[in-house]
């Protein structure tokens, strides 16, 4: 099999960070800053995000990882008896260690199509949640873009999801662990400003997009936003040296670095899937962003 | 007041990391590693810690911060109806955002003396916890070394605390956010090996000892140790790129760096307190490690 | 000591219920009713309470016990990062098995005077809660009337507590396990209507006032009120045969039975304390309602 | 439709209790007893249950309702990162207000066959729970007998479930809300002693079997058993006047009353389903105990 290009089959986080992030950490290392995310670098990163989403209103915080970003987004917005709707492949359902249940909330699942939720599925989950008396009240909807299987939402799909949420008075949370990859996908027709307008809370992934660690959580409702750091502190997600994440996001948001990296990983993925296709392998899902799920014969899996 | 030496009144985490940590992050940046703390660097750091504590048994994990280290240590070792005993100044009581209560556990507090618990206080808290039927069962004791007011436990004090814990079947947790400072204090007569032997679980602070972020949690009981990463994942404390912390601890534990830094901050603190003493200021507590709590006249506080 | 009148030193719940409650259970036993508290008897009991508090607005629910009434009142009104202020002797602090912490909330305690909170104490607890960044936000105040040591709030005291709560935007919860005894105390100058007006949520104790089990929770805020049964169901406090409690409260609220029983237990307590006084014994606290805390010499305690 | 026998389409708890339970409450009403379930009547009820299960070892406690019995059984036996396996129709999945998630635990669901779990389903759920690193560890299995759709487990089925649980080191919890109906079903070939031997914890329903309220929880492991009342107190499930439930179970267990009532409701259900069959209606599931789920044409549903 000499003619196969060699790819690492490790995941997005088998390496460190983009070199310019290491440089930034190095030359800011001795500047004295306030702790807990009140530093200049975090503030600069917030400014860049506010420019991209086109508002000065939103509250923006940086969490060390994605599981924390999700559990904090949900626990800070829901009452104990309220539940969240998600698709079966959603990260919070089967990949985050029961983090949502650990905050006391039930996840109401729908199968999903290509990893996405449709308005029909949201309506059906909502109806099931009120079928019997005093069952957990559906109050929030969870989607990921790019989804956990690498597909992306286009504007019509997201607008439809946002529409049913508004109609049913559900909050909309978008997990953006791979938002960079989504917004630079050939299938994408949205901007970060659209993402902000269609959702109530969303986050931009750093860990899977060139950072050592860190995600940026963007909160629309000012009262939830103002209280968010209390939740972060209570859950152990408020770093003393918050600037460690702020510096990385400041760097990722300069000269479009975050999106350039995402574009690069998307094209690498596309290239990989076409080579695989040429070689006659099928894909579990079409490659729309930076994830490829080839279906290999057992023998080859052995060999790899 | 020109003749006062200038000190920053910022806290331990107003700056970044020790330069050699940044270097280490830089030249390991492109090496491919497994995620979630299963990387070579974390493994090397674990080896160094096992050498210092003199056992190959202990489970060792790296958490992003101290609040997480404490809530994970407690929630992973207690049943829902079990409580933890701590001194009033303890970090978990008034500085961690109610993180322990958020995991469902009550903290039984004693005033403490110089920030420390005595066997008498532990006995008294234990007795109060069983005074009325079905009140939360005291099952664990929390101490910090150095304490939150900068004092340190000597061997006799720690042995006495460990003794009453054994007698009352209480687990002993030691918060080592400033363990480096404690073990290099002029008052100290213990090694890391002693700390391991006297406790059931303890952690070594990185964030306040030269790292960008990270604490190393050392767990004696193998069954709690084996399950610990499940708790980390569930609480959002398991970093995808775990090597980010592993590299820092590997570096801190090479050539005694962690303790050299601690020794330096201790002597700076001692120097500061003697200058303050010369100038006629009183201290809230004697300076035994790297924290100084001078009592200033309001006027001066204004000026500062 | 032949001349001491014999009293049982058992507690309020060593016997069953008032006979008329057993009768009521008997002759309603075969009537078919809806479950979960939507039965006629519960509705009648609600009507009686609404008459006493002078409003048709309030939501009223019946819980099996007092610990449940408190944990539900608190968990349904607070966000995860919000805390409750209480006096040291408060039932939720040391007598309810850590039920409040088990819902994730911290209790900020003040010593209390005669078991009561003063505006000064509430202000001081509130200030402490915001002394360090991101500590649990004080959002609610817990008081009991009668208090856990048998004293009662008069109108001025309750008005002052309500005033500081309004000023600091704190919700006021009144534990009325012994509200009957309080409102029939010689020290009392309030009605149930006053209690409703001064608080955000309070409950009327049945278990300690002639019922087999059951407390009536009265909620002012309609949105919290509408969602309350969801919390009850989630915590296991929503009885299938809710009428079991409804029937008892309907009976207790007919012909003033609840208050007649309370008056009787108050006078028995007063009689007991005066006999004890005559015999030269001191009381731990003056007897203002139906609890007597005599200080006996060890020898006598042995004999009893 | 004159020739249809009239049945109430209310549920099991639309009426009160069996008359002899009311009598028992009446004539024990004034006896002085200890609180919190330490009364003679509860002790007598425990003796009767120990006779039926053939051991003096088991710890037995009485909870006010079934949701509480389930959440207490689960929360007292699992660690925070452990999960429970259940069939989709299981009461804890869709009928208990998210009570299990509110204690922090994830429920891993399998479709179930006739409301039952098979060893294959348990193995498959167990495998899924360990497919990805650090997902909630399956540690307990939940079954109901009779199931939520009225079917019953026979000895072979329960033995097979118990076998796979032992093999996979899973605890087995049996919800016995309708255990009386199950053990008196024509399909049943087990005794209460068998139920005790095959499970780790189970409960006998009183509320749906002639009591006003109350379920009896039987715990095999002595250490979990000893701590259970702490959990009950903490969750608000420990009644001050515990004898209220003790008296009812003492009565239900005298002269086989519990099983006589169950037998009666089973035969009423059988009679109902055969009449319905004669009339040409289909049933959703065969009637094996005391629940009937007829499939009616919409028109008739209107009329009813």
The alpha-carbon gap from D13 to the nearest alpha carbon of chain A, in Å, equals: 15
Q: Which residues of A touch D136 (CB under 8 A)?
A: 97-98, 101
Q: What is the mean pLDDT of residues D12-37?
A: 88
CB-closest option in B76, B81, B227 to D231: B81
**DSSP one-letter string for chain A:** -TTSPP---S-TTSS---HHHHHHHHHTTT----STT-SHHHHHHHHHHHHHHT-S--EEEEESSHHHHHHHHHHHH--TTEEEEEETT-HHHHTSTTHHHHTT-PEEEE--BTTB--HHHHHHHHHHHTTSTTPPEEEEEEEESS-TTS----HHHHHHHHHHHHHHT-EEEEEETTHHHHHTSTT----HHHHHHH-SEEEEESGGGT-SS-EEEEE-SHHHHHHHHHHHHHTT---TTTHHHHHHHHHHTGGGHHHHHHHHHHHHHHHHHHHHHHTT-EESS--SSS---EE--HHHHHH-
CB-based contact B14 A25, cutoff 8 Å: no
Phi-psi region of B119 (alpha: psi -120 to 50; beta: other; left: phi over 0): alpha
ipTM at complex level: 0.93
CB-based contact C101 B136, cutoff 8 Å: yes
CB-CB contact of D124 with D117 (8 Å)? no
CB-based contact D104 A106, cutoff 8 Å: no
Q: In terms of CA atoms, which chain D residue is nearest residue A92?
A: D135
Q: In terms of CA atoms, which chain C residue is nearest residue A223?
A: C79
Is the pLDDT reported for residue C4 higher than 60?
A: no
CB-CB contact of A239 with A64 (8 Å)? yes
Average pLDDT, chain A: 93
Whether D134 has its CB under 8 Å from any CB of chain A: the answer is yes
**Touching A: B residues 196-255, CB under 8 Å:** 207-208, 212-213, 230, 233-241, 243-244
CB-based contact D236 C233, cutoff 8 Å: no
pLDDT band at D12 (very low <50, low <70, confident <90, very high): low
How many Å from the N-terminal Cα to the C-terminal Cα in chain C?
Answer: 11
Q: Which residues of C touch A36 (CB under 8 A)?
A: 133-134
Is the pLDDT reported for residue C11 higher than 50?
A: yes
The alpha-carbon gap from B240 to the nearest alpha carbon of chain A, in Å, equals: 6
CB-closest option in A80, A94, A132 to D102: A80
pLDDT band at A221 (very low <50, low <70, confident <90, very high): very high
| Separation between Cα atoms, residue A268 and residue A252, nearest integer Å | 20
Classify residue D90: in a domain, yes or no. Answer: yes
- Looking at residue D286, its pLDDT comes to 79
CB-closest option in C101, C102, C135 to B97: C135
pLDDT higher for B142 or B2?
Answer: B142
Count of Cβ atoms closer than 10 Å to residue A37 Cβ: 26
| Separation between Cα atoms, residue D42 and residue D248, nearest integer Å | 9
Q: CA dist C203 to C62, C210, C212, Å?
A: 9, 15, 16
- Looking at residue B293, its pLDDT comes to 81
Chains touching chain D at 3 or more Cβ pairs under 8 angstroms?
A, B, C
- Looking at residue B11, its pLDDT comes to 57
My answer on whether D169 and D274 are in the same domain is no
Is the pLDDT reported for residue A5 higher than 50?
A: no
My answer on whether C75 and C95 are in the same domain is yes
Chains touching chain B at 3 or more Cβ pairs under 8 angstroms?
A, C, D
Q: Which residues of C touch A229 (CB under 8 A)?
A: 133-134
Nearest to A20 by CA among A268, A187, A236, A260: A260
**Touching D: C residues 67-106, CB under 8 Å:** 67-69, 71-72, 96-99, 102
CB-CB contact of C158 with C145 (8 Å)? yes
Is the pLDDT reported for residue C5 higher than 80?
A: no
The alpha-carbon gap from D97 to the nearest alpha carbon of chain A, in Å, equals: 4
Q: What is the pLDDT of residues D142-176, one digit of tens each?
A: 999 999 999 999 999 999 999 999 999 999 999 99
My answer on whether C156 and C45 are in the same domain is yes
Q: What is the pLDDT of residues B91-140, one digit of tens each?
A: 999 999 999 999 999 999 999 999 999 999 999 999 999 999 999 999 99
CB-based contact B22 A26, cutoff 8 Å: yes
Chains touching chain A at 3 or more Cβ pairs under 8 angstroms?
B, C, D
- Looking at residue C17, its pLDDT comes to 93
Q: In terms of CA atoms, which chain A residue is nearest residue B211?
A: A241
My answer on whether D240 and D278 are in the same domain is no
Whether B36 has its CB under 8 Å from any CB of chain D: the answer is yes
Helix (H, G, I), strand (E, B) or coil at B283: strand
CB-based contact C227 A137, cutoff 8 Å: yes
CB-based contact A65 B212, cutoff 8 Å: no
Q: What is the pLDDT of residues B158-173, one digit of tens each?
A: 999 999 999 999 999 9
* Stretch among A30-34, A58-62, A93-97, D61-65 having the lowest mean pLDDT: A30-34
Q: What is the pLDDT of residues C203-251, one digit of tens each?
A: 999 999 999 999 999 999 999 999 999 999 999 999 999 999 999 999 9
My answer on whether A121 and A160 are in the same domain is yes
| Separation between Cα atoms, residue A64 and residue B212, nearest integer Å | 12
My answer on whether B131 and B272 are in the same domain is no
Q: In terms of CA atoms, which chain D residue is nearest residue C69?
A: D236
Chain D contact probe: residue of B80, B130, B242 with most D CBs at under 10 A: B80
The alpha-carbon gap from B122 to the nearest alpha carbon of chain D, in Å, equals: 21
My answer on whether D227 and D289 are in the same domain is no
Q: What is the mean pLDDT of residues B54-66?
A: 96
My answer on whether A270 and A187 are in the same domain is no
Classify residue A8: in a domain, yes or no. Answer: no
Contacts (Cβ under 8 Å, ≥6 apart) of B233: A67, A96, A97, A99, D81, D133, D134, D135
* Percent of all residues in chain B with a pLDDT value above 90, rounded to a whole number: 80
Centroid of chain to Cα C269: 18
* Tally of domains within chain C: 2
* Stretch among A158-172, B20-34, B229-243 having the lowest mean pLDDT: B20-34
My answer on whether B220 and B279 are in the same domain is no
CB-CB contact of D90 with D144 (8 Å)? yes
Side-chain-side CA neighbours of residue C22 (13 Å) = 18
Classify residue C105: in a domain, yes or no. Answer: yes
Classify residue A7: in a domain, yes or no. Answer: no
The alpha-carbon gap from C140 to the nearest alpha carbon of chain D, in Å, equals: 20
pLDDT band at B14 (very low <50, low <70, confident <90, very high): low
| Separation between Cα atoms, residue C207 and residue B122, nearest integer Å | 36
Classify residue C129: in a domain, yes or no. Answer: yes
Q: In terms of CA atoms, which chain B residue is nearest residue D223?
A: B79
pLDDT higher for D6 or D48?
Answer: D48
Nearest to B209 by CA among B251, B172, B241, B238: B251
| Separation between Cα atoms, residue B12 and residue B261, nearest integer Å | 12
Residue A174: phi and psi, rounded to 5, are: -115, 120
Q: In terms of CA atoms, which chain B residue is nearest residue D236?
A: B134
The alpha-carbon gap from C66 to the nearest alpha carbon of chain B, in Å, equals: 15
Q: Which residues of B touch A71 (CB under 8 A)?
A: 235-236
CB-closest option in A14, A102, A243 to B33: A14
Tokens 């008294």 correspond to what residue? B124
Q: What is the mean pLDDT of residues A85-96?
A: 97
- Looking at residue D10, its pLDDT comes to 52
Q: What is the pLDDT of residues C81-126, one digit of tens each?
A: 999 999 999 999 999 999 999 999 999 999 999 999 999 999 999 9
The alpha-carbon gap from C272 to the nearest alpha carbon of chain D, in Å, equals: 19
The alpha-carbon gap from A79 to the nearest alpha carbon of chain D, in Å, equals: 11
Give the domain CATH number at B89: 3.40.640.10
Contacts (Cβ under 8 Å, ≥6 apart) of C132: B94, B95
| Separation between Cα atoms, residue C64 and residue A303, nearest integer Å | 63
- Looking at residue B238, its pLDDT comes to 98
Q: Would you mind telling me the total number of residues written for chain D in this entry?
A: 304
**The B59-63 sheet, strands edge to edge:** B59-63, B215-219, B201-205, B171-176, B137-144, B82-87, B107-110
My answer on whether C202 and C294 are in the same domain is no
- Looking at residue B5, its pLDDT comes to 44
Whether C16 has its CB under 8 Å from any CB of chain D: the answer is yes
The angle that helices D19-27 and C19-27 make with each other, rounded to 10 degrees, is: 170
Nearest to D70 by CA among D275, D262, D207: D207
My answer on whether C164 and C287 are in the same domain is no
Classify residue D208: in a domain, yes or no. Answer: yes
Q: What is the mean pLDDT of residues B270-280?
A: 85
Is the pLDDT reported for residue B79 higher than 80?
A: yes
Classify residue C14: in a domain, yes or no. Answer: no
Centroid of chain to Cα C96: 13
pTM: 0.95
**Host domain of residue A281:** 264-303
Q: What is the mean pLDDT of residues B265-291?
A: 85
My answer on whether C43 and C173 are in the same domain is yes
Is the pLDDT reported for residue C296 higher than 60?
A: yes
Q: CA dist D175 to A43, C112, D178, D222, Å?
A: 54, 45, 8, 19
Q: What is the mean pLDDT of residues A254-269?
A: 94
- Looking at residue C251, its pLDDT comes to 98
Is the pLDDT reported for residue D13 higher than 80?
A: no
Given C253, C274, C291, the domain boundary residue is: C253
Classify residue D4: in a domain, yes or no. Answer: no
The alpha-carbon gap from C78 to the nearest alpha carbon of chain A, in Å, equals: 8
Chain A contact probe: residue of C77, C79, C99, C138 with most A CBs at under 10 A: C79
Q: What is the mean pLDDT of residues B242-266?
A: 96
CB-based contact D231 B80, cutoff 8 Å: yes
CB-based contact B22 A19, cutoff 8 Å: no
Q: Which residues of D touch C17 (CB under 8 A)?
A: 29
Given A230, A253, A276, the domain boundary residue is: A253
CB-closest option in A102, A128, A134 to D97: A134
Whether A116 has its CB under 8 Å from any CB of chain C: the answer is no
Nearest to A129 by CA among C225, D87, D94: D94
Whether B33 has its CB under 8 Å from any CB of chain A: the answer is yes
């Amino acid at each position: 099999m000499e003619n196969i290009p060699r790819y690492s089959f490790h995941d997005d986080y088998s390496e460190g960070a983009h070199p310019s992030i290491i440089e930034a950490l190095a030359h800011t290392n001795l500047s004295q800053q306030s702790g807990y995310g009140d530093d200049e670098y975090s503030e600069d990163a917030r400014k860049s995000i506010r420019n991209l989403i086109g508002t000065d209103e939103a509250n923006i915080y940086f969490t060390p990882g994605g599981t924390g970003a999700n559990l904090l987004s949900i626990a800070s917005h829901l009452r104990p008896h309220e539940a969240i709707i998600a698709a079966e492949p959603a990260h919070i359902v089967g990949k985050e260690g029961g983090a949502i249940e650990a905050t006391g909330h039930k996840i109401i699942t729908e199968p999903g199509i290509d990893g996405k939720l449709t308005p029909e599925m949201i309506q059906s989950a909502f109806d099931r949640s009120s079928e019997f008396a005093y069952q957990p009240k559906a109050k929030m909807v969870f989607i990921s873009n790019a989804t956990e299987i690498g597909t992306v939402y286009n504007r019509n799909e997201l607008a439809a999801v946002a529409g049913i949420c508004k109609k049913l008075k559900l909050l909309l949370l978008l997990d953006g662990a791979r938002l960079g990859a989504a917004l630079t996908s050939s299938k994408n027709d949205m901007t970060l400003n659209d993402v902000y307008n269609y959702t109530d809370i969303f986050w931009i992934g750093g860990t899977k997009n060139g950072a050592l660690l860190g995600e940026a959580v963007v909160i629309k409702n000012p009262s939830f936003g103002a209280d968010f750091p209390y939740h972060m502190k209570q859950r152990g997600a408020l770093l003393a040296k918050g600037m460690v994440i702020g510096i990385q996001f400041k760097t990722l948001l300069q000269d479009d670095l975050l999106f350039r990296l995402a574009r690069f990983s998307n094209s690498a993925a596309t290239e990989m899937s076409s080579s695989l296709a040429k070689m006659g392998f099928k894909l579990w899902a079409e490659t729309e962003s930076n994830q490829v799920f080839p279906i290999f014969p057992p023998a080859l899996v052995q060999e790899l």
